Structure 1
Amino acid sequence: MSKAEQTTPKENQVKIGDAEISKNDMMTINGMPLTNPRTPLILTISSILTYFLLFTFLYYIQGQAMAISAIIPVIAVGWFYGFKMGICAAILSFPINTLMYELFGIQWFPGMVKSGGGVAGTFGLIIIGAAVGRIRDLSKHLRRELYERKRVEKELKTHRDKLGEMVKLKTEELQMSNKNLKETKDHLDNIIESSLDSIIVSDSVGNVTRVNKYFLDIFGYREEEVLGKHTMEFTPMNKEGTYESTTGELIHVGKEYTDNAHAVVYKFLEEGKATNWENYYFRKDGKLVSVEQNIVCLYNNAGERTGAVAVVRDISERKRTEGELKRTKDHLDNIIESSLDGIIVGDSTGNIVRVNKSFLALIGYQIEEVLGKHIMELSITEPGTYESTTGEMVEINEDYFNDTREIIYEKLIKEGTLRNWESYYLNKNGRIVPVEQNISYLYSDSEEGDIIGSVGINRDISERRKAEKEIREAKEFLENIFRTSVDGIFITDDKGVITIVNKAVEKMLGYSKDELIGKHASELAPKGKEYKEEGMEMVKRLHDEGFVIGKERILSRKDGRLIDIEQSATFLKDKEGNLRGSMSSFRDITERKKMESKLAQSEKLKSLGELSGGVAHDFNNVLAAILGRVQLLKIQFKPPPGKHEKRKSMLDLLKSLDIIERASLDGA
């Protein structure tokens, strides 16, 4: 870029008449350069100096006609400064000539006034100055006109070139715009036709002007069956009744539906849009399709409504899914409410948002008393002695709270779950309820998996605690019986190895507990074939019948002495019926065996006595007959009178009968 082009606009402007032009646009007309604006002043001063020189020259050469020298500056001023300045310069020439006369010592009055030459010359100069000034003004005007014309022509050419460029550019832009518009239209058409949502375009009165392919596919129409029809004809807004849905359900369209639909339409006409409107469209076969619509009005540049466009989404699958979800939710709600375990759901801060009936029954509150409370408000928060629902008094101390905090931190917070945790809830009546809890956190579906809540399943274990207490007491009772029983009791594993013995076994056999545990039960029998066969027979009966009662056997004590026992045994099996071991109880019947031996001897004597008694009975029967006869004879027999010898014989006979009678009585 040249230096002239780098000057500021004000410095680069030259005022010619009323116009301002650039110095770069200065031109030469009739050989007169139009360059620097100071040039006229320089030339004028030069003409004045020329006047002084010429005046001096004429004075010394001719000595007269020096005033004519003033024509040079008058012409110069008239040419450079115009009509008025030319006249002024001519008028000023008279006093200047007069002054020059005085300077050169010449009488000015005779030469300037008296002779009439000075006055006439001055008038001549005025005419010359006026003529030259006028010519200059006309020339200036002509130059300006020419310049303006050329400038205008140049500007016109510039504007024409620019206009041509602009036209060319605009033409290219228009072509590009048309191309872009076509591409945009094609792109929009492609979007509309490729959309997986149905799109309907209608005019200002609601008649369909365009639909996409997906609309035709979903609803089963041909394009000519749709265009020109009112959009209402494809909906049941004015057709109440019961219709089959594409989901297989029967949909009843009643007054409530139509009133709601008309309300949405009125709101749409007022606001110019309707969003997420769920309603129904008719398929060509008459079935209802569940849809969700977004409708918006179309306007022209004047703000007048020209139509509407609706994006219609088939939500049949969503409705089916929602129906299944609702049924699943209802089913889950039914499960939750029917659960015999108390279920409690908390939010991320631990506030209760849901409980079931079993939980309310567990703690004795109404639902409105629980919702919104923090879960900890239903727990034990202070140490002390509390009555339990098991009937026991439970001591709650700091150890309980420390254990609780440790379990929650180690299991729930670290792992997100807590299983089979036994703790307490505080019932509304102030009693504590023992529960077994399973607690787990609920997480969001986000990548972070934020905790959004928790769910706890609480089982009232009051009855179990009571049963455990009873079992514990029964166990202690049985252990006491086992421990204090006079009968020996031992338990073996499924291989027959002794695992548990009581004190009576140790006492009866002379072994210590440690010596017995680990022995095989068969080692307690004496050595010998008959004892081995006796043991095998008992094992066989045990396998066949599952138990043996009152089996008499012989065992060997540690000191080698044999003892008689009476043994009962049974198998121990698990829930699946698998053999886990056996239990045997036995008592020492050595003394009883001795007594039985004595009793057997007594029985023999008894048998002999019974035999003797039988013989005596038979003998008594004979004696009774004899006795009866003797007593009868004694009644009937009387000693006859007569001889002393006969009476004596009779008396001896009576004595003999007495002896027989007494003997019979003693024998009986």
Structure 2
Amino acid sequence: MDIKNSHNLVFSEEDFSGILKALSRVQAVIVFDLEGNILTANENFLGALGYQLSEIKGKHHRIFCEYSYSSTPEYVEFWKRLARGEFEAGEYKRLSKEGKEVWINASYNPIFDDEGNIKRIVKFATDITASKLKNADFEGKIKAISKAQAMIEFELDGTIIDANENFLSAMGYQLEEIKGKHHRIFCDPTYVTSSEYQKFWNKLGNGDFEAGEYKRFSKNGDEIWINASYNPILDASGKPFKVVKFATDITETKIKNADFEGQLNAIDKSQAVIEFTPDGTILKANKNFLATVGYSIDEIKGQHHRIFCEPEYTRSSDYRDFWIKLANGEFDTGEYKRIGKGGKEVWINASYNPIYNHNGEVYKVVKYATDLTKEKEAYNNLVETFENAAIELLASSSQISSVAEEMTADAKITLEVSTNASASSRQVASGVQNVSTSTEELSASITELAKSSSEASKCSSEAKEMTLEASENISELGKASEDIGNVIKVISSMLSRQIYSL
């Protein structure tokens, strides 16, 4: 008996039987009557759903479906269409004996007799649960990424196919404004005309992945920085057929980082900087620091901070506590004495700053320092100069005190002499008054003598005052003493002349 199909291909009954056996080996097969009652099923089907044939034979197809579906008019209509001879195919969710979801790619095929009447329904199915779950996983991930990131799709030549809301919002466009246009609308005109830009799309067209930070421009011409990956999507034969870009807007972060970087560069230029692990092992140092201590980076990298310190200090509990505190996140600052290459003494004003990672843990310590060595040397020299000056001043003070004592004694002697001179002058004045036959010369002499006597008395008073202030007015006292001596000489001379003339 020959069997014809809808395409008028003729199969013998033997051929048809062979085809059914081949299908039965590779696919799940189940046979229903026109109402949906189960007639038979092969091992592939029973294995996929977890049943024995005796458990399902004579039961309705609905045992494989969720009640929420099998109780609907849609389900009833499904079987009516099959009973009318209509073919059904697609992906279907069914339930196993244990109630687990099983996804199948199946075709429901009405079988006709020689007279064209529908006799039964045969379903050929393939279990696609694993691939369905994998695709669902992929789809879920893509949806999750799409919610969190900007996403845009391109043809291999850069023509825009689609973009999600995150991308459109970041760039300030509507989808209809960019769909069908080229990626270059987001780029600097000088860049899109470069060979570099052409190579970029050539690589993507060849299936090469691209990722990095990119500068793009919004609809308003604002500069936008994105961290993005350009992902060529391959077809079943492994050939790329489109490019999907996932991007995150990092403009604000980029601006902050540029500000931080600028500040750090400024600090790096003006200060000595060195980095350590939390235990004090040296990671790196800038040129200023290396110049301060006289080392090259190769000489100190991997060494411990103690190479800059005096051995006695590094063996102390203070030094151990110093690094324990830093490792615990405690800041430290002050003036420190350090030892450079060759044992030279270096003084620095420094801050030790614990740096935290994203888990809030100290992962390194950065020291910013200013070289105070020259200032410290100048200060020490100044202190030494003052100390020496103080010693000399103390010695001079002793000498001055001694001289003052001597001059005080001289002043007392001078005072006695001047007192005697005053007495003598008074005697002379008395003698002169008794002389009745004085000449004009004698009268003038007496006048001069009286004047000198007055000056001597005045000098005597000054000598007394100077005696009390000798330590402060040594030079004036010496001059006054000299003047008194001269006056005494004058008085003595005049007395001699007057006595002689008498």
TM range (shorter): 0.5 to 0.7
Residues 363 and 194 of structure 1, relative CA distance in 2, 3 Å threshold: closer
* SS of the residue 2:219 aligns to: coil
**Equivalent position of 2:70 in the other structure:** 253
The offset of 1:222, in angstroms, is 4.5
One of 230, 234, 251 as aligned partner of 1:443: 234
CA contact (8 A) 1:197 1:311 kept: no
**Equivalent position of 2:246 in the other structure:** 457
**Equivalent position of 2:109 in the other structure:** 295
Q: Could you list the per-position Cα deviations for residues 484-530 of structure 1 after superposition, in whole angstroms to 9, with x for gaps in the alignment?
A: xxxxx586996799872379959xxxxxxxx8657979xxxxxxxxx
One of 529, 535, 547 as aligned partner of 2:310: 535
Q: Which runs of 5+ in 2 are unaligned?
A: 1-10, 301-306, 324-331, 398-463, 469-502
Give distance in 1, aligned partners of 2:364 and 2:95.
68
Give distance in 2, aligned partners of 1:298 and 1:432.
69
* SS of the residue 2:373 aligns to: strand
Residues 480 and 535 of structure 1, relative CA distance in 2, 3 Å threshold: same
Q: Please state if 1:567 is matched with 2:374.
A: no
Q: Please state if 1:380 is matched with 2:184.
A: no
- Map of 1:29-40 to 2, 5 A cutoff? none
Residues 331 and 543 of structure 1, relative CA distance in 2, 3 Å threshold: same
Give distance in 1, aligned partners of 2:311 and 2:211.
49
The offset of 1:285, in angstroms, is 11
- Map of 1:410-449 to 2, 5 A cutoff? 411-413=203-205, 416-420=208-212, 422-446=213-237, 449=238
* SS of the residue 2:196 aligns to: helix
Higher relative contact order (CA 8 A, sep 6+): 2
- Map of 1:173-192 to 2, 5 A cutoff? none
- Map of 1:46-57 to 2, 5 A cutoff? none
CA contact (8 A) 1:380 1:426 kept: yes
* SS of the residue 1:336 aligns to: helix
Letter in 1 for 2:87: A
The offset of 1:223, in angstroms, is 11
RMSD of Structure 2 on Structure 1 (CA): 5.5
* SS of the residue 1:501 aligns to: helix
Q: Could you list the per-position Cα deviations for residues 637-663 of structure 1 after superposition, in whole angstroms to 9, with x for gaps in the alignment?
A: xxxxxxxxxxxxxxxxxxxxxx9xxx9
Give distance in 2, aligned partners of 1:601 and 1:472.
50
**Equivalent position of 1:313 in the other structure:** 124
The offset of 1:284, in angstroms, is 9.8
Q: Could you list the per-position Cα deviations for residues 63-106 of structure 1 after superposition, in whole angstroms to 9, with x for gaps in the alignment?
A: xxxxxxxxxxxxxxxxxxxxxxxxxxxxxxxxxxxxxxxxxxxx
Give distance in 1, aligned partners of 2:265 and 2:91.
71
Give distance in 1, aligned partners of 2:121 and 2:170.
55
One of 167, 173, 177 as aligned partner of 1:359: 167
The offset of 1:418, in angstroms, is 1.3
The offset of 1:433, in angstroms, is 1.6
Give distance in 2, aligned partners of 1:367 and 1:360.
7
**Equivalent position of 1:545 in the other structure:** 322
Structure number with bigger Rg = 1
The offset of 1:550, in angstroms, is 2.3
CA contact (8 A) 1:501 1:516 kept: no
Q: Could you list the per-position Cα deviations for residues 249-291 of structure 1 after superposition, in whole angstroms to 9, with x for gaps in the alignment?
A: 66443334235325524xx62xx44232777999999999877
Letter in 2 for 1:469: A
**Equivalent position of 1:336 in the other structure:** 145
Q: Please state if 1:590 is matched with 2:364.
A: no
Give distance in 1, aligned partners of 2:29 and 2:284.
82
* SS of the residue 2:124 aligns to: strand
Give distance in 2, aligned partners of 1:207 and 1:555.
94
The offset of 1:332, in angstroms, is 1.6
Give distance in 1, aligned partners of 2:95 and 2:267.
79
Residues 337 and 556 of structure 1, relative CA distance in 2, 3 Å threshold: closer
* SS of the residue 1:428 aligns to: coil
One of 189, 195, 201 as aligned partner of 1:402: 195
Give distance in 1, aligned partners of 2:74 and 2:369.
78
**Equivalent position of 2:153 in the other structure:** 345
**Equivalent position of 1:200 in the other structure:** 31
CA contact (8 A) 1:201 1:307 kept: no
Residue correspondences, number:
356
Q: Which runs of 5+ in 1 are unaligned?
A: 1-179, 227-232, 237-242, 384-395, 483-488, 507-514, 522-531, 610-658, 664-668
- Map of 1:4-403 to 2, 5 A cutoff? 196-200=27-31, 211=40, 213-214=42-43, 217=46, 220-222=52-54, 226=58, 234-236=60-62, 245=65, 251-261=68-78, 264-265=81-82, 269=84, 272-276=85-89, 292-300=106-114, 304-314=115-125, 317-318=127-128, 322=132, 324-325=133-134, 327-329=136-138, 331-339=140-148, 341-370=149-178, 372-380=179-187, 382-383=189-190, 401-403=194-196
CA contact (8 A) 1:437 1:456 kept: yes
CA contact (8 A) 2:153 2:163 kept: yes
Give distance in 1, aligned partners of 2:18 and 2:282.
86
Residues 287 and 264 of structure 1, relative CA distance in 2, 3 Å threshold: farther
CA contact (8 A) 2:273 2:366 kept: no
CA contact (8 A) 1:289 1:314 kept: no
* SS of the residue 2:74 aligns to: helix
Give distance in 1, aligned partners of 2:55 and 2:382.
117
Identity rate of aligned residues, in percent? 12
Give distance in 2, aligned partners of 1:234 and 1:468.
67
TM-score by length of 1: 0.41
* SS of the residue 2:220 aligns to: coil
The offset of 1:442, in angstroms, is 0.9
**Equivalent position of 2:474 in the other structure:** none
Letter in 1 for 2:60: F
Q: Could you list the per-position Cα deviations for residues 24-74 of structure 1 after superposition, in whole angstroms to 9, with x for gaps in the alignment?
A: xxxxxxxxxxxxxxxxxxxxxxxxxxxxxxxxxxxxxxxxxxxxxxxxxxx
Residues 553 and 192 of structure 1, relative CA distance in 2, 3 Å threshold: closer
Residues 413 and 554 of structure 1, relative CA distance in 2, 3 Å threshold: closer
Residues 428 and 598 of structure 1, relative CA distance in 2, 3 Å threshold: same
* SS of the residue 1:466 aligns to: helix
TM-score by length of 2: 0.53
